[in-house]
Amino acid sequence: MRHLPYFCRGQVVRGFGRGSKQLGIPTANFPEQVVDNLPADVSTGIYYGWASVGSGDVHKMVVSIGWNPYYKNSKKSMETHIMHTFKEDFYGEILNVAIVGYLRPEKNFDSLESLISAIQGDIEEAKKRLDLPEHLKLKEDNFFQVPKSKIMNGH
């Protein structure tokens, strides 16, 4: 993806209800219009970066962009796992995301356990990469300081 870092924001919507319940890995989902407005050259796969909810603190995150082959989705989605424990759900809040790097392509898994194991590996790898100085500086980007308005792709 030539466009990294890539910045986007949108209102958190209800997803498939699988992140927390089946995987134990809660995700925040963007509405279709945010996914549809991604640059054309964005490959499906797993990315990492920074995220905040509303005007809250900025945390490390991983995001899956694609069709989730294990679940055979018919619609492309963008599901963000923020590496922070939130006290409550934040549906309807504005999610701010800075995608800074690519981890791996999307792929299918033969079991739920292998999917969960891969996601946990992605999270650990993202944590390491986000500690690199070139990625750490993006945590302080002005994108996270601006007034939170309507959906806005780009920067």
Active site residues: 79
Average predicted confidence (pLDDT) for the chain: 87
Spell out the domains of the chain, with CATH numbers in brackets.
Answer: 6-144 (2.40.30.30)
Reported as a single tens digit per residue, the pLDDT across 23-69 is 888 899 999 899 999 988 888 999 999 999 999 999 999 999 988 76
Q: CA separation (Å) from 110 to 1, 43, 116?
A: 28, 22, 11
Q: Is the pTM of this model over 0.85?
A: yes
Of residues 119 and 75, the one with the higher pLDDT is 119
